[in-house]
């Protein structure tokens, strides 16, 4: 796998009114070409600062940032501007230039990169199509909804065919429906154009739908890095657990369990739902095979990067011996806990 971005021992210290604070503390991470990399953490964790070191908007106090193998700290001002033209960036508050039309906003990075005017016209038309804003070329940013503004932001960011897109809370100012649309757009930017994306967000839901791999930040440190499914299934650090918890919360508390025990007096099990349930409808298949029934009494299943993820709690009804066989065979396929 080609490495697109590598941060090696990156630290950033800010001095405010004479007091120093570490916004980033010895960050090491690698983003591979073509992946969507998520950075998640609470407010003030250092996510934006970290993202901004990648296009040199923020200079690390120590450590190095490599983009396509080049140490960007060693670039002169001109080379840094060249690099920035090959890295797109989208912002939470869109950062559009209100004095320019939609067309002007998208054309500007192309002008900066020295495109010819005919080529610019064609490219802007193509981009407006891609982001679904065909008729809006001569609208002013203020006339657009938040979702439309972010579409312009994305079109502007990918105009000059960058290899990297940096997205800082790109959906945090949007409602859930619009968030979904922007998430889908970012996915097509990644799928169809092959652009590597680094997404910063505090919305676990967005990370779950977008990211291939994730780093969790807390107080300027990376506390955990891993595959999105692995982090959701098994957060190792308390901060990860706290972030992931509300999104995947399916485990029942002891209080809930005891009241459910009164209500459903047979056997009760929790079943972890994952990829295998897409390939094999194991629960209903075994239920039919062993002539048992079940009621879903609680649960949640979300799709994380196109795979189901969650937990279901079932109350089982049937002959005791059949139930034994059902539970045993089910436990061979998925994680089952009886309570």
Partner 1 sequence: MVNELELDVVIPKVAKALAETLFMVSLSFFLAAIVGLTLGIFLFATRPGQLLHNRVAHTALNMMVNTLRPIPFIILLIALTPVTRALIGTSIGPSAAILPLTIAASVGIARVAETNLVAVDPAVVEAATAAGARPLHILFGFVMREALGPLLLSLTFIFVALIDATAVAGAVGGGGLGNLALTYGYQRFDYPVMILIIVVLIGLVQLVQFAGNRLAHRFID
Ligand X SMILES: Nc1ncnc2c1ncn2[C@@H]1O[C@H](COP(=O)(O)OP(=O)(O)OP(=O)(O)O)[C@@H](O)[C@H]1O
Among 6, 27, 29, 47, interactor with ligand X by CB under 6 A: 47
> Rounded to a whole number, what is the largest CA-CA distance in the chain?
77
296 phi and psi angles, rounded to 5 deg: -85, 115
Closest CB to partner 1 among residues 139, 302: 139
Q: Is 202 in the site for ligand X (CB under 6 A)?
A: yes
What is the closest distance, in whole angstroms, from the C-beta atom of residue 156 to partner 1 in the complex? 8
Window 29-88: residues binding Mg ion (CB under 5 A): 48
Among 41, 109, 141, 147, interactor with ligand X by CB under 6 A: 41
Among 34, 215, 290, residue whose Cα is nearest residue 207: 215
| CA-CA-CA-CA dihedral for 324, 329, 330, 335, to nearest 10 | 100
Q: Contact, 51 vs 166, CB < 8 A? A: yes
Residues in the chain, total: 339
Query: Residue 230 and residue 236: Cα distance in Å, rounded?
Result: 10
Type and span of the H or E element at 257 = helix 254-263
Pick from ligand X, Mg ion, partner 1, none: which does 44 bind, CB < 5 to 8 A by kind? Answer: ligand X
Residue 39 Cα distances to 220, 251, 277, angstroms: 12, 25, 29
Among 34, 142, 163, 38, residue whose Cα is nearest residue 96: 142
Which residues is 235 bridged to in the sheet? none
- Using CB under 6 A as the binding criterion, the count of chain residues that bind ligand X stands at 12
Pick from ligand X, partner 1, Mg ion, none: which does 202 bind, CB < 5 to 8 A by kind? Answer: ligand X
The residue number with the shortest CB distance to Mg ion is: 48
What is the closest distance, in whole angstroms, from the C-beta atom of residue 15 to ligand X in the complex? 8
Give the 3-state secondary structure of residue 201.
Answer: strand
Closest CB to Mg ion among residues 168, 224: 168
Q: Contact, 252 vs 77, CB < 8 A? A: no
Pick from Mg ion, partner 1, ligand X, none: which does 95 bind, CB < 5 to 8 A by kind? Answer: partner 1
Contact mark string toward partner 1, 82..121, x via CB under 8 A: xxxx-x-x-x-xxxxxxxx-------xx--xx--------
Which residues is 16 bridged to in the sheet? 19
Q: Is 16 in the site for ligand X (CB under 6 A)?
A: yes
Q: Is 158 in the site for ligand X (CB under 6 A)?
A: no
Window 146-165: residues binding partner 1 (CB under 8 A): 156
What token pair was written down for 302?
A: 């979300």
Query: Residue 57 and residue 229: Cα distance in Å, rounded?
Result: 31
Window 95-154: residues binding ligand X (CB under 6 A): none
Q: Is 48 in the site for ligand X (CB under 6 A)?
A: yes
Among 16, 142, 246, 262, interactor with partner 1 by CB under 8 A: 142
Contact mark string toward partner 1, 18..57, x via CB under 8 A: -------------------------------------x-x
Pick from Mg ion, ligand X, partner 1, none: which does 46 bind, CB < 5 to 8 A by kind? Answer: ligand X
What token pair was written down for 261?
A: 């025990």
* List of residues contacting ligand X (CB under 6 A): 14, 16, 23, 41, 43-49, 202
């Amino acid at each position: 796998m080609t490495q697109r971005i590598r941060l090696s021992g990156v630290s950033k210290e800010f001095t405010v009114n004479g007091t120093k604070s570490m916004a980033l503390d010895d960050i090491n991470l690698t983003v591979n070409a073509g992946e969507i990399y998520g950075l998640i953490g609470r407010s003030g964790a250092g996510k934006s600062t970290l993202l901004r070191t990648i296009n040199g908007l923020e200079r690390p106090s120590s450590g190095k940032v490599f983009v396509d193998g080049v140490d960007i700290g060693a670039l002169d001002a001109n080379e840094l501007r060249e690099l920035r033209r090959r890295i797109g960036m989208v912002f939470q508050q869109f950062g559009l230039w209100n004095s320019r039309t939609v067309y002007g906003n998208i054309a500007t990075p192309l002008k900066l990169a020295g495109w010819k005017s005919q080529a610019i016209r064609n490219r802007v038309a193509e981009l407006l199509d891609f982001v679904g804003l065909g008729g809006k070329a001569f609208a002013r940013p203020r006339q657009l909804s938040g979702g439309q503004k972010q579409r312009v932001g994305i079109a502007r960011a990918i105009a000059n065919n960058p290899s990297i897109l940096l997205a800082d809370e790109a959906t945090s100012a949007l409602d859930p429906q619009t968030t979904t649309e922007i998430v889908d757009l970012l996915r097509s930017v990644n799928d169809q154009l092959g652009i590597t994306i680094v997404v910063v967000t505090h919305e676990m839901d967005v990370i779950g739908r977008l990211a291939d791999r994730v780093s969790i930040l807390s107080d300027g440190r990376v506390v955990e890095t891993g595959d999105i499914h692995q982090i959701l299934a098994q957060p190792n650090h308390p901060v990860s657990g706290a972030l992931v918890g509300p999104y995947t919360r399916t485990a029942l508390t002891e209080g809930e369990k005891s009241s459910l025990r009164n209500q459903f007096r047979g056997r009760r099990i929790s079943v972890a739902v994952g990829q295998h349930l897409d390939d094999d409808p194991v629960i209903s298949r075994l239920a039919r095979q062993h002539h048992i029934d079940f009621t879903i009494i609680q649960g949640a299943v979300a799709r994380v990067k196109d795979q189901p993820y969650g937990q279901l709690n079932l109350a089982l009804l049937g002959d005791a011996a059949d139930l034994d066989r059902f539970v045993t065979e089910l436990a061979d396929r998925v994680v089952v806990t009886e309570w």
